Amino acid sequence: MTYQLGVVLALLAGAITMFAINRPRTDVVALIMMAALPFTGVVSMQEVLAGFADPNVVLIALLFVIGQGLVRTGVARRLGDLLVVRAGPNETRLIALLMVIVAGVGSVMSSTAVVAIFVPIVLRIASNTGIAARRLMMPLSVAALISGTLTLVATTPNLLIHGELVREGFNGFHFFSFTPFGLPLLVMAITYMLLTRRWLAGPEGPAIPPSRRTGLGHWIEEYALAGREYRFRVAPHSPAVGQMLDELELEDVPGVNVLAIERSVRFTRSLLSPGTRLEAGDVLFVDVSNPAANIDDLSRRLALERVPLAGAYFSEHAQDIGMAEVLVPPGSNLIGKTVVESRLRATHDVSVIGLKRGSEPVAADRVLSVPLKAGDTLLVVGIWKAIRKLKSDMDLVIFNLPAEFDEIAPAAARAPFALFSLALVVAFMVTGVLPNVQAALIGCLLMGLFGCMDLSTAYRSIYWQSLLLIVGMLPFSLALQRTGGVDLAAQMLLELVGEASPRAVLASIFVVTSVLGMFISNTATAVLMAPVALAVAKHLQASPYPFAMMVALAASAAFMTPVSSPVNTLVVGPGDYSFMDFVRIGVPLVLLTLIVSVLLVPWLLPL
């Protein structure tokens, strides 16, 4: 061992130690290594910084943006809602569908982001069905990790290993090169979780309390809103076409409130404020607070067609129409005025549909005519954009938002465009028509062009900590290669397995990668193990692809501890898991993954 190799290994040992104790943060460790490595004389500062120009690093940043576009447009949440509808209260079907959906979404976006999206969804399912959250959170994390074995872009280690192959002069992996391995592993993982879920027995219901915010359903009951909701479509011959609501003389029918206008344009549906000029085909969301109101006469006069409703008081439109409880503070200009005189709809595009004086709601037919007092609580309804703007009003104070507010997708109407952008990126990557980075860049630009994403959100969506970790660890691969460290590790591994079969060598690579992944991130593990695996293949004069694939599969099998992956860390609290819960579930699952991988890899990727 040379002096330079000893120094590089000492730095690597220091990095692994700091990763293991999580002090300091992983990105800070990476920056420390970037500053220290040039002092070894093995790599230059320019080579250390070259990671920022690595195509795979840029691709990972772009994929963060595309994934956030799916979040902002509500695509991921709609999949969660589909899960609730399809699975119902059946726990077996629920776990299977949950894992399939999470793995599918995770195959094209960050698995950490997928888990962050699905944790509140799973908690809500647990609360509604009475199934212990402990029995659902572990399948969620397992499926998110397995998703990394489905496509090239599913997880960072896949891209890094692909990049190592390219640097060594090989063609690298294709978009679906991982799928023949990932699908059997997913089926195995689903079967395993269904058989072992009793090991996760716990108290019924969610392990942590759901949001303290009340839901829309509570307000619908408290303010007696059920039965007051109507939807009307504006017919082509309606006299309302081209008119503003204020021009329709709706005051002739007291108690009728138009809350929002739904309009379909270019395959998308948008909800607009009541101040919009009406067009044929628009759908009006109407609240009728006065039981004596002749709503049928109004619909005939304006040629409005009744549209059926699916949920109580527009609850099925909670992504578009929101509610909030606002307080009339002392000194407000609204004190002494009635709701009609306050003109909140004209000034803020929201309608008052409920009023509480103290803790008692005022009768619905009196809400509009009662003079307001300091301390009164108003229940307002409108599109979410208008409700958010109320925060800047000095005459009202928002003091209560519904639980549904946390789940609002700000660009839900752009979901079809987000799906189109994603499909185009995947098509480019699968066919190889364009380089992966260029395909992802086009996808990001389309997300911005279609309004799925704005620039500030795009920059915030990039997980810079992960990127710095990758850039900081990449120089170690080069340093170990130049100092002979990679060849030394390969020789030690070959000496360890002796004259064993190639399958045993593959198994040993999987084991070393998995064990290393218990202490450091799977990204850092992939950076370190990929060149070792390729060196082993070179020594054996074998194809590099099965060895590289084993590293990738092992890097995604981070099931054994809660700190093996951020995916596991996210479910520890909601699932009320201990360290040993992951050991009991994760260790057998890693062994099963090892067996399946050793059987499949040499078969599908001949040595």
Q: Which residue from 218, 207, 52, 251 is spatially nearest to 119, judged by alpha carbons?
A: 207
pLDDT of residue 120: 63
Is 468 contained in some domain? Answer: no
DSSP state of 236: T
Number of structural domains (the chain) is 1
Q: Which helix (H) or strand (E) holds 547?
A: helix 544-556
What is the dihedral sign for C-alpha 145, 147, 149, 153? negative
Is 242 contained in some domain? Answer: yes
Is 22 contained in some domain? Answer: no
For residue 39, what pLDDT band results from cuts at 50, 70 and 90? very high
pLDDT of residue 203: 47
Write out the two tokens for 123: 């908690």
Helix, strand, coil share (%) of the chain residues, nearest 5: 60, 10, 30
Q: Which residue from 422, 364, 341 is spatially nearest to 108, judged by alpha carbons?
A: 422
Q: Which helix (H) or strand (E) holds 351?
A: strand 351-357
pLDDT of residue 205: 42
Q: How far is CA 465 from CA 51, 160, 461, in A?
A: 14, 16, 11
Write out the two tokens for 564: 């093996």
pLDDT of residue 207: 42
**How far apart (Å, rounded) are the C-alpha atoms in residues 468 and 480?**
20
Q: How far is CA 529 from CA 270, 511, 532, 546, in A?
A: 50, 11, 5, 13
Q: What CATH number should be reported for the domain holding residue 276? A: 3.30.70.1450
Boundaries of domain holding 357: 214-401
pLDDT of residue 206: 41
**How far apart (Å, rounded) are the C-alpha atoms in residues 271 and 424?**
28
**pLDDT tens digits for 573-593?**
777 777 788 888 889 999 999
Is 292 contained in some domain? Answer: yes
**How far apart (Å, rounded) are the C-alpha atoms in residues 325 and 478?**
59
Is 555 contained in some domain? Answer: no
User: Looking at the predicted structure, is the pLDDT value of residue 563 above 80?
Assistant: no
Is 437 contained in some domain? Answer: no
For residue 55, what pLDDT band results from cuts at 50, 70 and 90? confident
Is 332 contained in some domain? Answer: yes
Q: Which residue from 114, 112, 134, 113 is spatially nearest to 123, judged by alpha carbons?
A: 134
User: Looking at the predicted structure, is the pLDDT value of residue 175 above 90?
Assistant: no
pTM: 0.64
**pLDDT tens digits for 266-303?**
656 677 777 788 889 998 888 888 776 778 888 888 88
**pLDDT tens digits for 492-521?**
777 776 666 788 888 988 988 888 777 666
Write out the two tokens for 246: 């204020």
Is 465 contained in some domain? Answer: no
Average pLDDT of every residue of the chain: 82
Q: How far is CA 262 from CA 116, 304, 351, 484, in A?
A: 31, 14, 16, 67
